Structures are given as structure tokens and as C-alpha cells.
């Protein structure tokens, strides 16, 4: 190679899915810019995206070779790929023979490519005979998935990014896009700058950068979102801002909502939510007057023991006003990870099959059994979800766990229990790119995976947009693409014919075929089209004008994905099941992201220009709460919860509600320093329907650290 090569790819961090142009110099050096042709970001990149190539070029800490330990007490030793996969296959086969297929599980990631997600699903659900596969997307999106299914009939984001440029009112609730989805936020800011009548409402107990830019910040009391959304619905009804024709022609359930909110007094609701009544009424007035109303949310609604109810009560606002399925209107759950959406499409959750089919639906199971030609029936029993996987390890019911591209030893709630559970596993495989992943220390077998730019495949972003990611460079050492590791392992398990792939595209085309005649049909999309068109939004079936970019917006005909084709308005009850604060643990801890770090920092933690923004974790506490505890800004403090503690510096900040404190979720155990994992404190309570953990509500106490 003697000239610079140019590739179009997609950022591998958040679900915005920005297009990037990577230039590879003859000496292998990379430069990176935003892709002006990509419709998601139009050339813009945030700080994380701009520094993406440094994470690739810096090969420090990469896992280079398979390593295995022969007993728990022995160290990891380098082995060949053959030896590694033969040992894994032998252990899995023995455990399955002795304890049944549900004795093994896979735990994967929203950073896996669609092909990888599909293939690992096919292996465990169709060929091992267990549904024990779940993803770290369970920790961020599953409440939205259930909310969409219950209200719209399927897990389907109805809107597209271009709706931002025609919306008048943005209700940003439980989200901080200014830091976590920065490019979408820039599009929202540009919309507002061009149109002064545009209003941004931000609902968040913290005064984030998003809240600072909003026209109206509603610093809601944690756990009261359902009541707040119902109060908004009531105010919309009182203002005459609902669409009776739409409700009558296209929805069911309005009467149930009416009778529930009949008992709600907006004035009392405002007191419970900790908000001025006039602010709730102002928000309702703006929403009612808007021609385009977008609601955007992430973890503040989803990561809750009542996450589904929060989603349903928010989606109601669109259904009662008819603000869905038209330009600038609709509920828009922002995806946290680059391919969380693709994972859901391929069935990467313990309760679903590819193309949004359900494991509990006999017709769906039969279809996939025939499609895959499975040697065993697909189990009708949903598999273990993320937190259940570690509970089952702890209880000895689950024997082996294969972890792909995720770092549960930092990201799971109640991490001390998870750490104990990992110690009880008979066999743990960690397939990852980085030795920095804390989970590697718990592995019996470590497999080196190829990273971003080192493999090809596809991803789907938050607006259902599928993009193709080319292979730009060779992976270091003996690292292999994840999809290849999975098909090689499946072959070692004896499933040679069904996993006789030679390239990622074969896997993609098989997956696309199984979406035929479903609501997410992508039979009209292939690698060649994606390379030529850059990206396509699903559905895009054969004979569909995919050349035009697929389907921009869903439900424009107001025909929803329910059996009746009518959307369902729900009447979720008002209660919060989070753990209770008391005199011992009087503060509510909420956790979240910071601007320049990503997940557990295995990638962004290596880039010095990203660590400068916030170099160390601190606990933010309101000055009044600090004063009551004799804590000064910068003091070393102990944050104590019912399951553990962390010791770190305090930052006194009026950006929080009194009674609430905040910890970033990124940091693991820092060598030589105190353990600052936020999940020492969080609990394993989950929403009963979505099984998403309650990361945003933990009872804690904060006190000055005194040397013993």
C-alpha cells in the first residue's frame, strides 16, 4: 500500500451512530473526521467520537492471545485457538450433559455487531437448547422495549432524527443528551437557535448541561415520574389539547387512563414531584400548542424498578394528543449503545427470538426451528436476564458463563454479590479486546477479540438506521472477529454444517432472510447496498424503495403493530417500589455518565485528552446536605449504602436537588486506590416486566471520612 486509503464507518460509542471517515496513511497511522454525507451527524462529532482512532492506534492493554488456566489456582497461560476452543467446547458439552442446557449462559453487549448478536443467539437458542443469553442492553433499554411493545405492539422507535428539525417542543426526561448524545443535542440546539419559538423542557433531578440550556427545567423528585406524566396528561385534557378523533379511531384504553387521573390533583401532584404547579401547567401548555412534539428519554426513566410504567405514562402523552406518526412527533427513546437496537432485532435478549419474535410464542419458535433446522426444540422458557444470570451463578444453578465485550464486574448492580457469584462459577470465558476489563481477572479462558475497524459488520442506531462498518486494519496478535470466534466454537460443539460460515456477510444475509414478512423486514438490504447508500432505515423489505433509504418514520398510516392495529393507552399506577430511605440512609443516590467517558472506560480511559475533563470520580452532594454533615467541598467522604460503600472526594453542588447525590458509573477498582465503583452501593431490584435494574434510586448516607 503506498497511498492513503479512505473508509466510511460508524462511531462505536453511543446509539446516535455518527458516521466517520477514517483515513489510513501508508505508515498505518489513522486520521478521523465526521462524515458530512452521513444523515445522522452531517459531519459533526463529539469529543468521544473525535478521539476514536486513538483508542484503536494505542494497542496498550490489548488482549493478544487466547489464555487459559488449568485450575482455579493456576495462572492464565497462553494457548492456541484450537486448544482454547476445544477446552471451551468440552466443558460446555460436559456441563450440558450433566446439568442440562440451562446450566450455561452467554452475556453479551450492545457493542456487539448485528452478525455477532445473531450468531450467538442461534447457537444457544437453536442448538444448545437454552434461552440463557442476555445483554448489557438489559441494563439500559429493556424498559423502553416493554413500553413500546405494550403500547405500540412492538419494540419500535417510531421517529427519525430529521423529526428534530420540525419539532416545536422537546420534552427531555431522564436524559442528559448534552453529554450522552451530544450530536443529537447539537441538532436540537440548532433547531432552537433557528426558531426562537421552539421550547425545550428538561425533567431531571440534576441541573445538567441539558437542563441549563432548557427553557424550563423541572428538577423532579426521584421516583415520581409516573405521577408527573399523569399530571401532564391531566393538564393536557383540562386545556382541551387532546385529539379525540385520534383517540377514538386509533387507540384503546383511554377510559382507564381517564378514571385513574380523575383522582389526581395537579396541585398535589406538583408537591409530591417537588415541582411548582405552574411549571407543570406551563409544560402542558407548550406541548398542547406544539405542532411537533418529541419526547426524548434514556436511563432516568428506564433504569427503574417502575421503568415500564414510566415509559407507558410518557408514551400516553403522544397517544392522547395524536402526536405520533407525523413529522416532528413521537416518543423517542435514545439508545445508549451503538448497536443496542441491532441486538434487540436479532433476538439478543433472554425472552425474544430474531426479528422481534417471542420465545413464549409457539408459532414463533416453530418458525425459527424450521429456519435454523435446529437439532433440539427452542425452549419455551425465557432465559436468565442480566441480573438473573449472576443470581443463578451465586445459587449454583448456572455453571458456565461466556461474557462477550462487556465488563459486568463494574457495570452490574450490587457488584459485591456479582463478584462473589463469579467466584462460584465452574467456568468463565471472557471474550474482549482489553486487559483493562476488570472481568478478565475472573476468567478461566480469555479470548482476544478484534475491535472497531478490525472487523466488518453492521449496526443499527437509535433511529432504526443500519450502517455497514468495513474492516480497515488487521487486529493485533491473534485476535479474531467475534463472529468468527462464535462460529468456530459452534463447530467445535459439533454444529459444523449450521455454522459453516466463511465471512460476516453470510451471517448477515441469513439474518436478513429470517426478518422476511415481519415488521422489521430488511430482506431488501445487503452489504453492497449499505456500502453504496451508506445507511438504510428498517423496515426495508425486498421491492421496497430501499434505494431511497428505507422507512424514515413508522405509523404514518396510524396502523400500529398490535393485533387490532390500534395503539394501547395504559393506566400505570402511581407508586415507587425502590428501596426506602430512612434515618440511617436518608439520601437518594443516582448514578450516570460523564461527558467524555464511555461505559467502564476500557476504551476512553486510555485517551489522555478524554480523561482531562473529569479525571477522577467524585460524589456530588447538595451544599445543604453537605453542611448538615459537616462536609466541605473537596473533603474525603464515605458513601455508605446497605450493601457496600465507596470512599472518594465530595463536590458540593447546587446542581442537585437537596436529598439527592450523584456518582458517575464508569470507574472500576483503581489500582492502589480505594474502590470507587458506584455499583458497590446500588441494589439488584428490577422492574418486574423489563427486568431492568433500579440504578437511579439507592438509599445511602454520606459522611466525612475519619482515619481509623
**In angstroms, what is the minimal distance from the CB of 417 to ligand SF4?**
31
Question: Which letter does DSSP use for residue 670 in this model?
Answer: P
Q: Is the peptide bond before 539 cis (omega within 30 degrees of 0)?
A: yes
How far apart CA 683 and CA 676 sit, in angstroms, is 16
Of the candidates 423, 312, 416, which has an alpha carbon nearest to the alpha carbon of residue 642?
A: 416
* Lookup result for grid cell 396502523: 559
**In angstroms, what is the minimal distance from the CB of 41 to ligand SF4?**
6
Contact 338, 13 (CB under 8 A): yes
The interface region with ligand SF4, picked from 12-20, 132-140, 257-265, 686-694 by CB under 6 A, is 12-20
Question: Which letter does DSSP use for residue 469 in this model?
Answer: E
How far apart CA 14 and CA 673 sit, in angstroms, is 29
* Lookup result for grid cell 417542543: 169
How far apart CA 460 and CA 592 sit, in angstroms, is 23
Binding residues among 18-77 for ligand SF4 as defined by CB under 6 A: 18, 41, 45-46, 48-49
How far apart CA 93 and CA 454 sit, in angstroms, is 31
Q: Should residue 17 be labelled a site residue for ligand SF4 when binding is judged by CB under 6 A?
A: yes
Q: Which is nearer to ligand SF4, 221 or 339 (CB)?
A: 339
The interface region with ligand SF4, picked from 181-189, 210-218, 224-232, 671-679 by CB under 6 A, is 181-189
**In angstroms, what is the minimal distance from the CB of 116 to ligand SF4?**
19
The interface region with ligand SF4, picked from 73-81, 176-184, 285-293, 490-498 by CB under 6 A, is 176-184
**In angstroms, what is the minimal distance from the CB of 551 to ligand SF4?**
21
Q: Should residue 437 be labelled a site residue for ligand SF4 when binding is judged by CB under 6 A?
A: no
**In angstroms, what is the minimal distance from the CB of 167 to ligand SF4?**
19
User: Which position among 8, 9, 14, 226 is part of the footprint of ligand SF4 (CB under 6 A)?
Assistant: 14
**In angstroms, what is the minimal distance from the CB of 184 to ligand SF4?**
7
Q: Which is nearer to ligand SF4, 41 or 339 (CB)?
A: 41
Count, residues in the chain: 708
What separation in angstroms does the CA of 480 have from each of 62, 135, 172, 179, 488? 12, 21, 40, 33, 10
**In angstroms, what is the minimal distance from the CB of 612 to ligand SF4?**
17
What separation in angstroms does the CA of 117 have from each of 41, 137, 147? 25, 12, 23
User: Which position among 101, 126, 174, 182 is part of the footprint of ligand SF4 (CB under 6 A)?
Assistant: 182
The backbone torsions φ and ψ at residue 384, rounded to the nearest 5 degrees and listed phi first, read: -75, 135
Instruction: Tell me which residue has its CB nearest to ligand SF4.
Output: 49
The interface region with ligand SF4, picked from 16-24, 247-255, 283-291, 317-325 by CB under 6 A, is 16-24
Q: Which is nearer to ligand SF4, 51 or 683 (CB)?
A: 51
Q: Should residue 324 be labelled a site residue for ligand SF4 when binding is judged by CB under 6 A?
A: no
Give the angle 154-160-162 at the CA atoms, nearest 5°: 165
User: Which position among 128, 157, 178, 183 is part of the footprint of ligand SF4 (CB under 6 A)?
Assistant: 183
Q: Should residue 16 be labelled a site residue for ligand SF4 when binding is judged by CB under 6 A?
A: yes
Contact 353, 363 (CB under 8 A): no
Give the angle 645-646-649 at the CA atoms, nearest 5°: 140
The interface region with ligand SF4, picked from 175-183, 227-235, 673-681, 683-691 by CB under 6 A, is 175-183
User: Which position among 11, 359, 546, 648 is part of the footprint of ligand SF4 (CB under 6 A)?
Assistant: 11
Question: Which letter does DSSP use for residue 365 in this model?
Answer: H
Q: Which is nearer to ligand SF4, 183 or 446 (CB)?
A: 183
The interface region with ligand SF4, picked from 180-188, 236-244, 364-372, 489-497 by CB under 6 A, is 180-188
Q: Describe the crossing of helices 362-372 and 504-514 by its angle, rounded to 10 degrees.
A: 140
- By DSSP bridging, strand 427-432 and strand 445-448 are parallel
Q: Should residue 603 be labelled a site residue for ligand SF4 when binding is judged by CB under 6 A?
A: no
**Per the structure block, which three cell numbers stand in for 63?**
488482549
Q: Which is nearer to ligand SF4, 11 or 681 (CB)?
A: 11
Q: Should residue 453 be labelled a site residue for ligand SF4 when binding is judged by CB under 6 A?
A: no
Q: Should residue 177 be labelled a site residue for ligand SF4 when binding is judged by CB under 6 A?
A: no
Of the candidates 555, 610, 133, 35, which has an alpha carbon nearest to the alpha carbon of residue 379?
A: 133
Q: Should residue 459 be labelled a site residue for ligand SF4 when binding is judged by CB under 6 A?
A: no
Q: Which is nearer to ligand SF4, 49 or 413 (CB)?
A: 49
Q: Which is nearer to ligand SF4, 339 or 682 (CB)?
A: 339
3-state secondary structure 606-665: HCHHHHCCCCCCEEEECHHHHHHCCCCCCCEEEEEECCCEEEEEEEECCCECCCEEEEEC
- Non-local (6+) Cβ contacts of 575 within 8 A are 306
Q: Which is nearer to ligand SF4, 16 or 88 (CB)?
A: 16
Q: Should residue 383 be labelled a site residue for ligand SF4 when binding is judged by CB under 6 A?
A: no
β-bridge partners, 457: 469
Q: Which is nearer to ligand SF4, 18 or 637 (CB)?
A: 18
CA 48 to the chain's CA centroid: 17
- Binding-residue total with ligand SF4 (CB under 6 A): 14
How far apart CA 474 and CA 456 sit, in angstroms, is 11
**In angstroms, what is the minimal distance from the CB of 185 to ligand SF4?**
8
**In angstroms, what is the minimal distance from the CB of 315 to ligand SF4?**
24
- By DSSP bridging, strand 330-333 and strand 293-297 are parallel
Q: Should residue 161 be labelled a site residue for ligand SF4 when binding is judged by CB under 6 A?
A: no
Q: Should residue 205 be labelled a site residue for ligand SF4 when binding is judged by CB under 6 A?
A: no
How far apart CA 181 and CA 332 sit, in angstroms, is 13
Q: Which is nearer to ligand SF4, 41 or 523 (CB)?
A: 41
Neighbouring C-alpha atoms within 13 Å toward the C-beta of 57? 15
Applying CB under 6 A, which residues contact ligand SF4?
11, 13-14, 16-18, 41, 45-46, 48-49, 181-183
Amino acid at each position: 500500500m503506498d497511498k492513503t486509503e479512505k473508509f466510511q464507518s460508524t462511531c462505536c460509542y453511543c446509539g446516535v451512530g455518527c458516521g466517520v471517515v477514517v483515513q489510513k496513511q501508508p505508515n498505518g497511522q489513522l486520521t478521523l473526521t465526521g462524515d458530512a454525507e452521513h444523515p445522522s451527524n452531517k459531519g459533526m462529532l463529539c469529543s468521544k467520537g473525535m478521539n476514536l482512532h486513538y483508542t484503536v492506534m494505542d494497542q496498550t492493554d490489548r488482549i493478544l492471545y487466547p489464555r487459559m488456566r488449568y485450575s482455579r489456582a493456576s495462572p492464565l497461560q497462553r494457548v492456541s485457538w484450537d486448544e482454547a476452543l476445544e477446552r471451551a467446547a468440552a466443558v460446555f458439552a460436559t456441563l450440558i450433559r450433566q446439568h442440562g442446557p440451562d446450566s450455561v449462559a452467554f452475556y453479551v453487549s450492545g457493542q456487539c455487531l448485528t452478525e455477532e448478536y445473531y450468531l450467538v443467539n442461534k447457537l444457544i437458542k437453536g442448538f444448545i437448547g437454552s434461552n440463557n443469553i442476555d445483554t448489557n442492553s438489559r441494563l439500559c433499554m429493556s424498559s423502553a422495549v416493554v413500553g413500546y411493545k405494550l403500547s405500540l405492539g412492538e419494540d419500535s422507535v417510531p421517529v427519525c432524527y430529521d423529526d428534530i428539525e420540525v419539532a416545536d417542543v422537546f420534552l427531555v426526561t431522564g436524559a442528559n443528551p448534552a453529554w450522552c448524545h451530544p450530536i443529537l443535542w447539537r441538532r436540537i440546539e440548532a433547531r432552537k437557535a433557528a426558531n426562537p419559538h421552539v421550547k425545550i423542557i428538561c425533567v431531571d433531578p440534576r441541573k445538567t448541561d441539558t437542563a441549563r440550556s432548557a427553557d424550563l427545567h423541572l428538577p423532579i423528585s426521584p421516583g415520581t415520574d409516573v405521577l408527573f406524566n399523569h399530571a401532564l396528561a391531566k393538564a393536557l385534557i383540562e386545556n382541551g389539547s387532546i385529539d379525540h378523533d385520534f383517540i377514538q379511531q386509533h387507540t384503546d384504553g383511554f377510559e382507564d387512563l381517564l378514571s385513574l387521573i380523575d383522582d389526581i390533583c395537579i396541585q398535589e401532584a406538583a408537591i409530591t414531584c417537588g415541582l411548582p404547579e405552574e411549571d407543570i401547567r406551563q409544560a402542558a401548555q407548550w406541548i398542547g400548542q406544539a405542532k411537533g412534539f418529541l419526547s426524548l428519554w434514556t436511563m432516568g426513566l428506564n433504569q427503574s424498578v417502575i421503568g415500564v410504567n414510566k415509559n407507558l405514562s410518557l408514551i400516553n402523552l403522544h397517544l392522547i394528543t395524536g402526536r405520533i406518526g407525523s413529522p416532528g412527533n413521537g416518543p423517542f427513546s435514545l439508545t445508549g449503545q451503538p448497536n443496542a437496537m441491532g441486538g434487540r432485532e436479532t433476538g439478543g435478549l433472554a425472552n425474544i427470538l430474531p426479528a422481534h419474535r417471542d420465545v413464549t410464542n409457539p408459532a414463533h419458535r416453530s418458525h425459527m426451528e424450521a429456519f435454523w433446522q435446529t437439532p433440539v426444540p427452542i425452549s419455551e422458557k425465557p432465559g436468565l436476564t442480566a441480573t438473573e444470570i449472576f443470581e443463578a451463578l451465586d445459587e449454583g444453578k448456572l455453571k458456565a458463563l461466556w461474557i462477550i465485550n462487556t465488563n459486568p464486574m463494574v457495570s452490574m448492580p450490587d457488584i459485591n454479590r456479582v463478584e462473589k457469584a463469579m467466584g462460584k462459577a465452574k467456568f468463565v470465558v471472557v471474550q474482549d479486546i482489553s486487559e483493562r476489563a476488570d472481568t478478565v481477572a475472573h476468567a478461566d479462558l480469555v479470548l482476544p477479540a478484534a475491535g472497531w475497524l478490525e472487523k466488518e459488520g453492521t449496526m443499527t442506531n437509535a433511529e432504526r438506521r443500519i450502517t455497514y462498518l468495513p474492516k480497515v486494519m488487521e487486529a493485533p496478535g491473534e485476535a479474531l472477529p467475534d463472529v468468527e470466534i462464535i462460529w468456530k466454537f459452534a463447530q467445535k460443539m459439533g454444529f459444523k454444517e449450521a455454522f459453516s460460515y466463511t465471512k460476516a456477510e453470510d451471517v448477515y444475509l441469513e439474518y436478513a432472510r429470517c426478518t422476511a414478512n415481519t415488521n422489521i423486514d430488511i430482506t431488501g438490504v445487503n452489504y453492497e447496498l449499505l456500502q453504496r447508500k451508506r445507511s438504510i432505515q428498517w423496515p426495508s423489505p425486498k421491492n421496497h424503495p430501499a434505494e431511497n433509504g428505507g422507512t424514515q418514520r413508522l405509523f404514518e398510516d396510524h396502523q400500529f403493530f398490535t393485533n387490532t392495529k390500534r395503539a394501547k393507552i395504559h393506566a400505570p399506577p402511581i407508586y415507587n417500589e425502590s428501596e426506602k430511605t430512612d434515618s440511617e440512609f436518608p439520601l437518594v443516590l443516582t448514578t450516570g455518565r460523564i461527558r467524555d467517558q464511555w461505559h467502564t472506560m476500557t476504551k476512553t480511559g486510555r485517551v489522555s485528552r478524554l480523561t482531562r475533563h473529569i479525571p477522577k470520580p467524585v460524589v456530588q452532594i447538595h451544599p445543604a446536605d453537605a453542611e448538615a454533615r459537616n462536609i466541605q467541598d473537596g473533603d474525603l467522604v464515605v458513601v455508605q449504602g446497605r450493601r457496600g460503600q465507596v470512599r472518594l472526594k465530595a463536590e458540593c453542588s447546587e446542581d442537585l436537588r437537596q436529598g439527592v447525590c450523584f456518582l458517575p458509573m464508569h470507574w472500576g477498582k483503581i489500582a492502589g486506590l480505594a474502590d470507587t465503583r458506584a455499583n458497590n452501593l446500588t441494589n439488584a431490584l428490577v422492574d418486574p416486566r423489563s427486568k431492568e435494574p433500579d440504578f437511579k434510586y439507592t438509599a445511602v448516607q454520606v459522611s466525612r471520612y475519619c482515619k481509623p
